[in-house]
Copies of this chain bind each other. A is one copy, B any other.
Amino acid sequence: MVQLSDKAIDRGDTLVEKFVTTRRVEFCETDAAGIVHFASYLCYMEQAEHELLRSIGLSVCEPQEDGWHLSWPRVHVECDFQGSARFEEVLDINVHVSRLGEKSITYEFEFKRGVRDIARGRVVAVCCRVKTDSILQSIPIPAKFIDLLSAYRIQTDCEKSKG
């Protein structure tokens, strides 16, 4: 259904914006080990992604000109944990874009509690439009998203050497 045949979009070295948000751990997000359940970090990532988009005037549910609306199903998620967090602790979440493909966006997330590293995650979301029959069809990312998200893109050394 979703094909990731995206050509990466080249960009020069320009100033990169940082998006940082915070998240207080809620009780329902903890588990019997006394710490945040690992699946909750995926929700934190999604929420930080949506918050970044809202901060630049975008929404994942953006209605399109043709009456359809966008949807961004995930094709890949991952998370590495270096620490843990407990109820009522506040996490700083750093978000940037590591890849702006033709049809997909790769977001990177860093979770810290003070100076302590807690987790590091990645999400690849594919731009789709939802048709009347609820079927998702992948489409090129609208120019507005590319333009506004470019500021948050950090080119990795690996990509630079490829360039």
On A, residues with C-beta under 8 Å from B are 1-2, 26-28, 30-35, 37-40, 42-43, 46-47, 50, 54, 59-61, 71, 73-84, 86-88, 130, 134, 136
In whole angstroms, how far apart are the Cα atoms of A86 and B32 in the complex?
A: 8
CB-CB under 8 A for A59 and B88, given A47-B26, A80-B75: yes
Instruction: State the copy count for this chain.
Output: 4
Q: Can you list 5 residue pairs at the A/B interface with Cβ under 8 Å? A: A26-B50, A27-B46, A34-B34, A38-B77, A76-B81
Q: Are A78 and B79 in contact (CB under 8 A)?
A: yes
In whole angstroms, how far apart are the Cα atoms of A130 and B60 in the complex?
A: 23
In whole angstroms, how far apart are the Cα atoms of A54 and B32 in the complex?
A: 18
Q: Are B81 and A75 in contact (CB under 8 A)?
A: yes
CB-CB under 8 A for A71 and B33, given A38-B77, A78-B79: yes
